[in-house]
C-alpha cells in the first residue's frame, strides 16, 4: 500500500482502535498518539489500546486516549509493530492495517504501509498524515518523540537525511524541540545513574571487546531503586565501547525470562541473531525474548553471535 492509499484508507474508515507493541517505546507510543489525535481532528472516533506495559514516563501522553471499558471499535490499526507476537499484551483480535518501518511489519494484517528505509515509524506516519492535513503542534510533539527516540536523537546509524527533514518539518509545525530533547535525552534520575554503574561494572566483553553484553538483573533494579521509566535507551550502553561491533543487552523481566536487545554495526545481521530465538527487527537493531535467567540467556546469544562472526 502506498502512502496515498494509506491516507485514503484512514480517511474512508472510522471507529479506530490503535495498537502499539510490547515493551512500548517512544516511536510506537508517539506515532500511535499522533494518529489518534489526528483522526479525532478529522471528526473520527479513535482510541489507543490500553497497553499494560506503558511506563510512567509516557503515561501522561497516552492515557487520555485509552479505549474505555466496553467501548466498541471497527477498524484496528497497528503502528510500529514488527510482528503478530509483538502486539501489546492482551489483544488477540484482527488487525486491519499496519503502518510500520520494520521489513516484516505487514505480514500479520489485511493491509500494510511499510517503509523499511525509515529510521522510525514516526517518519512514515508523518508522511501519511501530511497527505490529509497539516499536523498540529501536539501531533508534531508526538511525532518528534517517535523520530528522535528511534534514531537516538539522530545519533544512530539508521538516521538518514529524511530523519532530519522530518524533524525540521515537525519544528515548523510547532514541536517543542528544546523541551522534548531535555526531557528525553538530557535528564536522568539518580536511580538510573546508579543502575548504569552496576551494568557497566559487570559488562561482559568478547572478541577483543568487539562483542559486548550488558546484563540487567532484577536484583540490580532492586538495589538501584530503578523503575521502568529508568530503563529507556538501556540498549545504548554496551554499544558505547569504542571497539564495539555487536552490543547485546539482556534484561531480566521475571525469573527465567529475559528480554534481549541487539545492536550491530551491520557487519552481522541483528535480525538473524533475533530470529534464532523467535524475534525480529532491522539489520542493525532487533530484539527477542528468551525463557532463561539473564546470564544463561547472555551465553546463549553469545554463541549465536560467534557462529555468525565474519
Question: Which residues, in sequence order, are CB contacts of 92 under 8 Å at separation 6+?
Answer: none
pLDDT, tens digit, 9 for 90 and up, residues 5-41: 999 999 999 999 999 999 899 999 999 999 999 999 9
Q: Is the pLDDT at 52 greater than 90, yes or no?
A: yes
CB 143 within 8 A of CB 30: yes
The whole-number pLDDT of residue 310 equals 85
pLDDT, tens digit, 9 for 90 and up, residues 14-23: 999 999 999 8
Q: Domains of the chain (ranges plus CATH)?
A: 3-185 (3.90.1640.10), 190-308 (3.10.310.30)
Question: Which residues, in sequence order, are CB contacts of 162 under 8 Å at separation 6+?
Answer: 117, 118, 119, 123
Confidence of residue 240 (pLDDT cuts 50, 70, 90): very high
The whole-number pLDDT of residue 280 equals 84
Q: How far is CA 54 from CA 23, 88, 220, 247, 254, in A?
A: 7, 10, 21, 25, 17
The whole-number pLDDT of residue 95 equals 97
Comparing 209 with 103, which gets the higher pLDDT? Answer: 209
Confidence of residue 206 (pLDDT cuts 50, 70, 90): very high
The whole-number pLDDT of residue 214 equals 97
Mean pLDDT value across residues 235-254 = 95
Nearest to residue 260, comparing CAs of 303, 225, 206, 201?
303
Q: Provide the angle, in degrees to the nearest 10, between the axes of the packed helices 121-130 and 26-41.
A: 10
Angle, CA 46 vertex, CA 44 and CA 47 arms, to 5°: 165
DSSP E strands: which ranges in 93-135? 97-100, 111-114
Q: CB neighbours (10 Å) of residue 181?
A: 14
What does pTM read for this prediction?
A: 0.82
Q: Is the pLDDT at 282 greater than 90, yes or no?
A: no
Q: Mean pLDDT of all residues in the chain?
A: 95
The whole-number pLDDT of residue 228 equals 86
Query: Which pairs with CB-CB distance under 8 Å and at least 24 residues apart come from 197-202?
Result: 198/223, 198/224, 199/234, 199/237, 200/237
Nearest to residue 95, comparing CAs of 2, 104, 107?
107
pLDDT, tens digit, 9 for 90 and up, residues 283-293: 888 999 999 99
Nearest to residue 99, comparing CAs of 66, 146, 137?
146
Mean pLDDT value across residues 53-79 = 96
Could you give the CA distance from residue 59 to residue 42 in angstroms, rounded to a whole number? 24
Comparing 118 with 280, which gets the higher pLDDT? Answer: 118
Amino acid at each position: 500500500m502506498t502512502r496515498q492509499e494509506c491516507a485514503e484508507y484512514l480517511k474512508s474508515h472510522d471507529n479506530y482502535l490503535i495498537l502499539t507493541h510490547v515493551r512500548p517505546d517512544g516511536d510506537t507510543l508517539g506515532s500511535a498518539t499522533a494518529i489518534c489525535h489526528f483522526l479525532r481532528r478529522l471528526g473520527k472516533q479513535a482510541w489507543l489500546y490500553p497497553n499494560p506495559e506503558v511506563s510512567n514516563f509516557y503515561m501522561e501522553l497516552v492515557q487520555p486516549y485509552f479505549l474505555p471499558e466496553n467501548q466498541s471499535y471497527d477498524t484496528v490499526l497497528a503502528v510500529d509493530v514488527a510482528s503478530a507476537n509483538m502486539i501489546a499484551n492482551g489483544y488477540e483480535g484482527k488487525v486491519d492495517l499496519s503502518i510500520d518501518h520494520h521489513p516484516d511489519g505487514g505480514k500479520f494484517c489485511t493491509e500494510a504501509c511499510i517503509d523499511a528505509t525509515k529510521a522510525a515509524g514516526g517518519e512514515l506516519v508523518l508522511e501519511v498524515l501530511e497527505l490529509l492535513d497539516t499536523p498540529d503542534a501536539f501531533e508534531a510533539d508526538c511525532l518528534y518523540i517517535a523520530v528522535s527516540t528511534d534514531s537516538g536523537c539522530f545519533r544512530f546509524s539508521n538516521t538518514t537525511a529524511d530523519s532530519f527533514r522530518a524533524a525540521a518539518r515537525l519544528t515548523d509545525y510547532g514541536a517543542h524541540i528544546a523541551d522534548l530533547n531535555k526531557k528525553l535525552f538530557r535528564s536522568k534520575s539518580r536511580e538510573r545513574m546508579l543502575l548504569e554503574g552496576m551494568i557497566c561494572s559487570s559488562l561482559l566483553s568478547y572478541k577483543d571487546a568487539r562483542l559486548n553484553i550488558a546484563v540487567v538483573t532484577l536484583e540490580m533494579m532492586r538495589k538501584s531503586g530503578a523503575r521502568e521509566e529508568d530503563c529507556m535507551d538501556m540498549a545504548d550502553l554496551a554499544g558505547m565501547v569504542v571497539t564495539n561491533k555487536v552490543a547485546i543487552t539482556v534484561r531480566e523481566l521475571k525469573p527465567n525470562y529475559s528480554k534481549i536487545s541487539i545492536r550491530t554495526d551491520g557487519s552481522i545481521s541483528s535480525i538473524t541473531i533475533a530470529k534464532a530465538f523467535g524475534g525480529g527487527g532491522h539489520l542493525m537493531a532487533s530484539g527477542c525474548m528468551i525463557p532463561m535467567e539473564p546470564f544463561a540467556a547472555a551465553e546463549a546469544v553469545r554463541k549465536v553471535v560467534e557462529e555468525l562472526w565474519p
